[in-house]
Amino acid sequence: MDHVKFVEMKDGDKEDYDFLTEHEIEFTRGTADRLLKALVGLDEGLSGYKITRLGHSLQAATRAYRDGADIDWIVSTLLHDIGDIFAPYNHDEYAASILRPFVREQCTWVVEKHGDFQIIYYGEHVGADPNKRDMYKDHQYFDDCATFCARWDQNSFNPDYETLDIDFFAPMVREVFARTPYDPNVVQPGVQVALQNPTAAEHRAL
């Protein structure tokens, strides 16, 4: 059997769906590498900045790493702009959807909302409300998103910063996307982990 027997889903039998489930599992194993490839594809996107989108993503992840952040933060930061390829008007939500099954809820929320928080840095120049983030002011993760933008995102457009390359982060991406999707021990609703960990940061200094 190399493909299913049906042409309409309603006509499939157990053999067909067992076959598809197996294929799906095999395909899912490649998610991390497909994402890494897509990230490299970001290199071609969005010109005008002093560095490419890939360069920005790597720089943001490098800053997270050097701040002593944990693996959920680092991988989420690396992928936070991956939506730029297909979803320029809601790139944050797109990235959050990719991450949601595999990282802590806190990180997904921050990635999902980072666009609304980033506006504080440029809203006045483009006729947008710089304080758009205020709509989340009572949210548990408000400060985390503000810190994410301040320390890792808005400042990661510097061509002179010493950025780690994608091979450094690839094993972390593979580890995160090999997790059991939606595992409560991974998603950890309500659990808050600081973005900065000075002890870890000390060992990761340049």
What residues line the site for Fe ion (CB under 5 A)?
Answer: 81, 153
Classify the phi-psi angles of 70: left when phi > 0, otherwise alpha if psi is within -120 to 50, otherwise beta: beta
Residue closer to Fe ion by CB (options 106, 118) is: 118
Nearer to Fe ion, 72 or 153 (CB): 153
State the nearest-atom distance from the C-beta of 58 to Fe ion, in Å. 11
Q: Looking at beta carbons only, is 97 or 188 nearer to Fe ion?
A: 97
Q: Annotate 27-47 with DSSP letters as a single string.
A: HHTTHHHHHHHHHHHGGGS--
Of the candidates 31, 6, 21, 2, the one whose C-alpha atom is nearest the C-alpha of residue 175 is: 31
Residue type, 73: W
- State which residue, 72 or 81, has the beta carbon closest to Fe ion: 81
* Pair 47, 148: CB distance under 8 Å: no
Q: How far is the CB of 202 from Fe ion (least distance, A)?
A: 26
Q: Give the integer Cα–Cα distance in Å for 37 and 89.
A: 22
- Quote the least distance from Cβ 79 to Fe ion, whole Å: 10
Shortest Å distance, C-beta 13 to Fe ion = 45
- Please check whether residue 129 is in contact with residue 119, taking contact to mean a CB–CB distance below 8 angstroms: yes
